Amino acid sequence: MESTIKQQAQELVRKARVAQAVYETLSQKQYDQAAKACAKIVYDTAEDFAREAVEETGMGLVESKIKKQRNIAKNAWFYAKGKKSKGVVGWEKGKLQQDCILKIAKPVGVVAAILPSTNPTSAMGGNGLQALKGGNAIIFCPHPKAKNVSLHCFGMIREAIAQLGIPADVVQICENPSVEMTQALMREVDVVVATGGPGMVKEAYSSGRPALGVGQGNCQVVIDSGMQDSFDFLAAGLVENRFYDNGIPCTGEQTIIVPKNDHDSLIAALERCGALYIDDDTAVDKLRKMLFVYSEEIQDYMLNRKITGLNVQELGEYLGITVPADKKLIVLKLNKFGEEELLCREKLCPVTGCLTYSGDWREGIQMAKANLLVEGAGHSSDIYSKDKQHQIYAGEELPVCRLIVNNSNSIISGGSYTNGFITTCTLGCGVWGGCSFGENMTFEHLLNYTRIFYTVESEREPPTDEEIWGDE
């Protein structure tokens, strides 16, 4: 069986290399046509794919998945549109103050894209676009729980590629996905893009091939004193973001840290926006035990996958309470943080914890830092503060690659044009998150570059020892 799986993986890669060898000789225009076609299929068929994904996996909300697919497809393509990804792409200065390095882009080859069950088609459209934009071939590895919707999406993308006169085998898929098949494929390709759970991302980095993997989310929200006039805006954004796709995305706010004096006002704002606040210790403990189960294998508590993507009404049934239909989010009162509180970890359902602090900004930030160092370091967090120095202190202290000021964490995937985030479905989390990069992944990450270095007329005399070693 092991030999058969390995042979299947090798055959997929062999066909991909034959097709990619032809594809990379084509024009920039053809690269763009293929990338656009991949994204447009997902955009145009978002409603069908969303419905199929929810029916097959039992997770998430159809409306949210429609929005996510369309957001990633259109905005990722808009970023890539018109940008060069073949041949000479521009000049660089290096250590000088003048252009002297000519940069030439080339494909990396064959990409394996690991797809999550939570977003099987948005990740296919997004990662497919990025690979094809750079002249690469891509082989999709679906999650077994989302096999059928992934195959449907793939079939439409492959047909669209073939209609452009491009070798169809530049896009392929593992038709019978399994952990063993994915592992075998990762060892054969040139680059792995892993969008999924921590276990699969770790496998990608252990495959012996270059890998671009996401890190685990555990967004912390730290609110400064004097922000009461922002509570309605803050609460509306937070509730909608945690309600989105029943809390599955890694971009959801997991813990709110608010000054003690502002706690009641914030909870009132959250309740007005559709949150159910639970401060009964017995109910909180029951939910804690429901969300996290002990694993003998890893010798630690882990998220109970049976509750992933459940809505608040379904969570209420587990708790033995009736949650009104207009409620979107459960907010839990917490008294501990860091290693002492499981509920300060990532929860892939619409549940958020709430902690209070004295009002000393440094205390609130250190609480968030403690939570991140347990889980979610490298990903992102939100702060709400009008104090510039407080903002900078948070940036210096929190181990995250993305820190959002006075806005919801929903913007980090890049759909909004009020910030500089580039649209992606693959969020690097740096060394903190066990990743090889810390940016939002784009097609540039799937390119090799040759740099031609030209000797130019000297701008200045070489620095003296005094200039080099002397005090500034």
Choosing from 38, 153, 174, 250, the catalytic residue is: 250
Q: Which helix (H) or strand (E) holds 106?
A: strand 101-107
Asked whether residue 110 carries a pLDDT value surpassing 80, the answer given is yes
d(CA 195, CA 138): 14
CA atoms within 13 A on the CB side of 217: 28
Catalytic status, residue 250: yes
Which ranges of 24-146 does DSSP label H, i.e. alpha helix? 28-44, 46-57, 62-80, 120-133
Q: Lowest mean pLDDT of 216-220, 252-256, 270-274, 295-299, name the range.
A: 295-299
pLDDT at 403: 97
pLDDT tens-digit series, residues 352-400? 999 999 999 999 999 999 999 999 999 999 999 999 999 999 999 999 9
pLDDT at 460: 80
Residue 224 confidence class, pLDDT cut points 50, 70, 90: very high
Residue 210 confidence class, pLDDT cut points 50, 70, 90: confident
Q: Lowest mean pLDDT of 58-62, 194-198, 250-254, name the range.
A: 194-198
CA 396 to chain centre: 22
Residue 321 confidence class, pLDDT cut points 50, 70, 90: confident
SS3 at position 134 = coil
pLDDT at 83: 97
Full-model pTM: 0.93
CB distance 53 to 60 below 8 Å = yes
State the pairing for strand pair 191-194/211-213. parallel
CB distance 191 to 212 below 8 Å = yes
Q: What is the dihedral of CA 220, 411, 269, 345, to 10 degrees?
A: -30
Q: What residues have CB less than 8 Å from 72, skipping those under 6 apart? A: 42, 122, 125, 126, 413, 415, 423, 424, 425
Pick the closest to residue 30 from 128, 165, 156 (CA basis). 165
Place of tokens 């996401």: 214
d(CA 167, CA 16): 9
pLDDT at 329: 96
Radius of gyration of the chain (CA): 24
SS3 at position 7 = helix
Pick the closest to residue 423 from 51, 150, 72, 131 (CA basis). 72
pLDDT, mean of residues 255-275: 98
pLDDT at 236: 97
Report the share of the chain in percent with pLDDT over 90.
84
Asked whether residue 160 carries a pLDDT value surpassing 90, the answer given is yes
pLDDT tens-digit series, residues 49-68? 999 999 999 999 999 999 99
Q: Lowest mean pLDDT of 194-198, 393-397, 434-438, 462-466, name the range.
A: 194-198
Residue 418 confidence class, pLDDT cut points 50, 70, 90: confident
pLDDT at 466: 92
d(CA 371, CA 219): 9
Residue 1 confidence class, pLDDT cut points 50, 70, 90: low
73 versus 416: which is more confidently predicted? 73
Q: How far is CA 435 from CA 76, 150, 170, 211, 256, in A?
A: 21, 26, 27, 8, 26
pLDDT, mean of residues 6-32: 97
d(CA 439, CA 305): 28
Detail the DSSP E strand segments found in 260-295: 275-278, 292-295
d(CA 349, CA 343): 12
Domains along the chain with CATH numbers: 2-214+437-453 (3.40.605.10), 219-419 (3.40.309.10)
pLDDT at 324: 94
Pick the closest to residue 31 from 125, 202, 164 (CA basis). 164
